[in-house]
């Protein structure tokens, strides 16, 4: 059981008040750990990026039920922060200032809960897409979390540092490859590698969730008998990923494998009733998976 839950809606500054629904913050304690989700703002992406040019009537209906029926979909960005009294662990590093003007708020939202960049002892990456990696460097290309060790799956590192990736990833994502390679090279001396099934840090186990990217990882964070799953982008939104998880998503680099991974994760989370954090899920991204109408639904933990 979760020992304490509270839900806050907050903004990094008064000037962002109109974005409150996208800047949700969730906090919970489990065992000896405290988990917070901290907002990096949100992404604004063409609906076609997720669902293709000609969505079916059923897909259109599902999106409309979630208020996501326009040509542009807004996607919240929730990073996970775990503290155990000794370590301060941040999962992913946000977008920084160079990716999208609606994102890059991480340092402000960390400051709002009393965490400075030099407090972070470890940064663990789910994957190396821009909204998860590019915030690792500041405007001067210096590491933001300069006291932290950085951890990434070996397959993910190998993919993004391969010089051929920029030639094979496709034109739409070529900038992702260039940006990832540059940032990973800059923090190479602070990088530790892991593989699926490894205990990255005490109580944090890497779970293979590839498909969204070749080396995408989720993480089971455990304290005693209690655990939370940090799923990154393996479950990428709060509507179609639950209601139609078998559908191929344009956001996944390997759409078939991404769908298989999504279905396996949803089944496990619903069966075990393990709380989860999703990077792009609503209301801070913290909640549970329930079976619903033959598929699933996301139930935010908001009390």
Q: What is the per-residue pLDDT across 184-237, written as a single tens digit (0 to 9) for each?
A: 999 999 999 999 999 999 999 999 999 999 999 999 999 999 999 999 999 999
Sequence-distant contacts of 288-295: CB under 8 A, at least 24 apart: 289/242, 292/242, 293/243, 295/242, 295/243, 295/244, 295/245
- Count of domains for the chain: 1
Is pLDDT at 59 greater than 60 in this prediction?
yes
Predicted pLDDT of residue 54: 61
Separation CA 191–CA 172 (nearest Å): 28
139 pLDDT higher than 50:
yes
Cα–Cα distances in Å, from 29 out to 94, 218, 222? 23, 20, 11
Provide φ and ψ at 193, rounded to 5°: -105, 155
Q: What is the DSSP string of 159-198?
A: HHH-TTHHHHS-GGGHHHHHHHHHHHHHTGGGEEEE-TT-
pLDDT, one tens digit per residue, over 67-77 is 887 889 999 99
The sign of the CA dihedral 164, 157, 215, 81 is negative
Those residues with Cβ within 8 angstroms of residue 147's Cβ, 6 or more apart along the chain or in another chain: 117, 118, 119, 120, 121
pLDDT of residue 302: 57
- What value does the mean pLDDT take over residues 108-124? 97
**pLDDT interval class at 297 (50, 70, 90):** very high
- Calculate helix-pair angle for 174-186, 154-161, nearest 10 degrees: 110
Cα–Cα distance, 88 to 115 (Å, whole number): 9
Q: With bands split at pLDDT 50, 70 and 90, how would you rate the model's confidence at 13? A: very low
Look up the domain containing 128 and give its range: 4-300
Determine what percent of the chain is predicted with pLDDT higher than 90.
Answer: 79
- The tens digit of pLDDT for each residue in 223-260 reads 999 999 999 999 999 999 999 999 999 999 999 999 99
Indicate if the pLDDT at residue 295 is higher than 80.
yes
Q: Does 20 have pLDDT greater than 60? A: no
Query: Which CATH number does the domain housing residue 188 bear?
Result: 3.60.15.10
- pLDDT value at residue 38: 96
């Amino acid at each position: 059981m979760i020992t304490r839950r509270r839900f806050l809606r907050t903004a990094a500054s008064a000037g962002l008040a109109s974005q409150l629904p996208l800047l949700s913050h969730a906090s919970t304690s489990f065992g000896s750990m405290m988990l917070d989700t901290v907002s990096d703002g949100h992404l604004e992406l063409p609906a076609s990026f997720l669902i293709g040019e000609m969505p079916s009537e059923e897909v259109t209906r599902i999106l409309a039920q979630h208020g996501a029926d326009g040509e542009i979909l807004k996607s919240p960005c929730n990073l996970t922060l775990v503290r155990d009294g000794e370590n301060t662990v941040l999962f992913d590093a946000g977008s920084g200032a160079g990716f999208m003007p609606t994102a890059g708020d991480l340092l402000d939202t960390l400051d709002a809960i009393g965490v400075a960049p030099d407090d972070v002892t470890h940064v663990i990456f789910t994957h190396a897409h821009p909204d998860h990696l590019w915030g690792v460097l500041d405007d001067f290309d210096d590491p933001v979390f300069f006291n932290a060790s950085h951890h990434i799956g070996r397959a993910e590192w190998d993919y993004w540092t391969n010089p051929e990736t920029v030639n094979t990833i496709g034109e739409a994502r070529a900038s992702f490859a260039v940006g990832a390679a540059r940032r990973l090279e800059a923090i190479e001396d602070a990088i530790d590698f892991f593989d699926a099934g490894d205990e990255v840090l005490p109580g944090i186990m890497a779970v293979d969730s590839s498909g969204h990217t070749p080396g995408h990882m989720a993480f089971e964070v455990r304290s005693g008998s209690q655990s939370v799953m940090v799923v990154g982008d393996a479950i990428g939104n709060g509507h179609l990923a639950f209601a139609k998880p078998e559908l191929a998503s344009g956001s996944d680099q390997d759409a078939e494998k991404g769908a298989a991974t999504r279905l396996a994760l949803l089944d496990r989370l619903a069966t075990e009733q393990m709380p989860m954090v999703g990077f792009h899920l609503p209301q801070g991204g913290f909640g549970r998976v329930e079976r619903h109408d033959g598929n699933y639904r996301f139930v935010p933990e908001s009390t």
